Amino acid sequence: MSSIAIWSQYGNQSLAVGRHVASQLGFRLVSMQDLVKTTAAEFQMPEAELAAVFKKRSGLKGVFAKKPSKGLACIEQQLCRLIAEDRLVFVGHVGLTLCQMISHVLKALVLDHPGGGSGPADPGVKEWFQTAYQEDLEDPNLYDLTVNLTHMDVAEAGNIIINTLQHHKFTPMTYSLKCMDNLELSGRVKTLLVEKYPDVAVKAHDGAVYVFSSGFNRGRQKAALQTKQTLLGLEGVSHVEVHGDKKLFDSITCGQVR
């Protein structure tokens, strides 16, 4: 089955839309708060530490220090697992890159008037999103669908999302399910490495795992070898390449998932 992900800086309004959609479809509803709680339980991390990932920090440099990087990786990995279970309605502002790689996830943006009666926008959400993904949260080109509550009520917006989900492009196919498997594996690897290597990038394809970090630059072959040996012990991993050169990593993994 397909799933739905709804992004918005209007938390109350978007959650109301999500509730309507989940109720009508019989899907599981997961809010940001729910996602943090399930991630904390899954990875045995304090909820406060995970919630701190979304707190405002001064300056962009170093915004995601080691602990926030680890926390964000764990949160996105948990979201990937929930999507894999199907029949999900997620409402929040995390996981954009992840969901964009899964074609059977309907990605929707909810807009509203800044002075809407159900509650104001949270500008901190938009700022955090920009820092995390280098994208404008309200850029409609990032989503499959945009609904504006200035021009319709919650039920109407939810029904538009439900109707859009019926399009054949949101039906899980062999390719999109394989993407899910690759994303799950790359997520597991990233959560394992990101605390030690905050700039780590991981791509996985059919059991092959490709890893980049500046921590594996020339002269650090021992760290690269140790990492490779560790990853080869993970379930589902059949091949590992570790790179300290970002251009080489991008060239090798061009066209691969994540």
The model's pLDDT over 128-157, given as tens digits with 9 standing for 90+, comes to 999 999 999 999 999 999 999 999 999 999
CA distance 142 to 146: 10
Per-residue pLDDT at 59 exceeds 90: no
Q: What percent of the chain lies above the pLDDT cut of 70? A: 91
Mean pLDDT score across all residues of the chain: 90
pLDDT of residue 60: 45
pLDDT digits (tens, 9 = 90+) for 88-128: 999 999 999 999 999 999 999 999 987 665 677 888 999 99
pTM of the model: 0.87
The answer on pLDDT for 227 being more than 80 is yes
**Which phi and psi (to 5°) does residue 228 adopt?**
-60, -45
> 241 pairs with which residues across the strands?
210
Least confident segment among 63-67, 85-89, 159-163: 63-67
Q: Which of 13-27, 77-91, 205-219 has the lowest mean pLDDT?
A: 205-219
Tens digit of each residue's pLDDT (9 = 90 or more) over 233-245: 999 999 999 999 9
Three-state SS string over the chain comes to CCEEEEECCCHHHHHHHHHHHHHHHCCEEEEHHHHHHHHHHHHCCCHHHHHHHHCCCCCCCCCCCHHHHHHHHHHHHHHHHHHHCCCEEEEECCCHHHHHCCCCEEEEEEECCCCCCCCCCCHHHHHHHHHHHCCCCCCHHHCCEEEECCCCCHHHHHHHHHHHHCCHHHCCCHHHHHHHHHHHHHHHHHHHHCCCCCCCEEEEECCEEEEECHHHCCCCHHHHHHHHHHHHCCCCCCEEEEECCHHHHHHHHCCCCC
pLDDT per residue as tens digits for the range 9-58: 999 999 999 999 999 999 999 999 999 999 999 999 999 999 999 886 54
Q: What is the pLDDT of residue 67?
A: 60
147: left (phi over 0), alpha (psi -120 to 50) or beta: beta
Domains detected in the chain: 3-170 (3.40.50.300), 174-253 (3.30.70.2210)
56 Cβ neighbours under 8 A, 6+ residues apart: 124, 127, 128
